[in-house]
Amino acid sequence: MATGAVEFSRRDYVLERHRHDPRDPYWCLRVCEEVRPGESKEIEALWAAALARVASHDPTWFVSQSDPNLHAIGLVRVPASALARVEAQIAIADPSLASYVKGVLWSIGLRFEKPPPVAHLRHAADLLERVEARHRAGFYYEHICYALEHVDYDRLKTFFAPLVGIGPPAPTDRSDIATAFREQWNLVFVLVAAGRAGDWDTYEVFRERYQEGTDPHFDCKVANYDGLYALAHGRGEDLEELLAVLNQRGANVRFLGVRDDTAFVEALIARGMLLDGCRAYLEMVLTNAPAGAPVDERILLLIESIGTAPSLNA
C-alpha cells in the first residue's frame, strides 16, 4: 500500500515544545542543538536564553563536557554578543562554580576565532582564575590554558604542570588509548606554547615526557619545535635529521599547514638551509590537503620563496 511522504521538521517540533515551557531545561538543550546564534538576532536571543537555562540548571554537567559535546550545542565560533547574553542570564548561587561556567562559555565559544579575540579571551581567563581549588577538576586546566594561549604567556605557563599532570609519563602500552591521546595532546600544547615564546628552558622540562608515535600530526608539531630548539642552540648537526623526521611523519597527515606545522621549515628557508627538504615538505602539505579545500596561499608563497633564497649548507 502506497503512502505519501509526511513532512516532519524536528526543529519546528523542538521550538514548539520550547514555546510551551521555555524554562524546561530538556527543551532548552534541544533548542541549543537545533539553532545557531549567528542565524539572526532573534535566534541569538533564543539560543542565549536556552543555553543560560541549561548551564544554570546543571552547571556540573556543563563544565564536565568535552569540546565536541559543547560544539554540538552551538558553542563554537559564537558571536561575542551572544556569549555576553548567555553570561548575563546565568544564575548560579555558588560564585566559584558560576565563574567556572562563564569562563568555559567564553573559552570554548571563541577558541577557533582568527585572529584570536584577545580581550574576550582575557575575560575568560580572569573568570577561570576566580574558580576555587575544589572546582579545578576535569577539563578546567585545558579551558584556562586555551583562554590564555594568546593572552599572557607568563600566566599561561603557571598552569602547564597541572595541565599535563605531575606524575611520570603514561606507559606506551597502556590500554586507555583515549586518555593517553589527550595527555599527549595537552603536552603538545605546552611544547608549542613554550616554543612560540622561545622559552627553551620550559621546553626542555616537558619535552622528555613526549612520546613519539601517539599521532603523526603531533609528531610533526613537536619536530618543528625540536628544529627551532636546535637552531636556537646552534645544533646544526641535528637539522637534517629533524627535517627528515618531519617529512616522514607528515607523509599521511591531511591537515598540515598552520604555522606550528611549518615553523621549522620557515626558519630554514629564511636561513637558506636544506631547501630541497623544505620544498619536499611543503609540496607534501599541499598534496595531502583535504579534497575540495582551497589552496593554501601561505604555503604557495613559502615554496615560491625557496626559489629566491640563497642556498647555504646546514
Position 19 in a domain: yes
Per-residue pLDDT reduced to its tens digit, 279-295: 999 999 999 888 877 87
Position 140 in a domain: yes
Position 137 in a domain: yes
Position 145 in a domain: yes
Position 16 in a domain: yes
Per-residue pLDDT reduced to its tens digit, 128-161: 999 999 999 889 999 999 999 999 999 999 999 9
Three cell numbers written together for 61: 554537567
pTM value surpassing 0.85: yes
Position 142 in a domain: yes
Number of C-beta neighbours around residue 83 at 10 A: 23
The secondary structure of 271-302 as a DSSP string is HTBSHHHHHHHHHHHHHTSPTTPPP-HHHHHH
Position 214 in a domain: no
**CA pair distance 131, 136, nearest whole angstrom:** 7
Residue 113 lies in domain: 8-151
183 in Cβ contact with 206 (< 8 Å): no
Average pLDDT, integer, range 169-187: 69
**CA pair distance 180, 213, nearest whole angstrom:** 11
**CA pair distance 127, 70, nearest whole angstrom:** 18
Look at the chain and report how many structural domains it folds into: 1
Cis ω on the peptide bond leading into residue 115 (within 30° of 0)? yes
* Helix H or strand E encompassing 15: helix 10-20
Per-residue pLDDT reduced to its tens digit, 52-100: 999 999 999 999 988 888 989 999 889 999 999 999 999 999 999 999 9
**CA pair distance 86, 104, nearest whole angstrom:** 12
Position 147 in a domain: yes
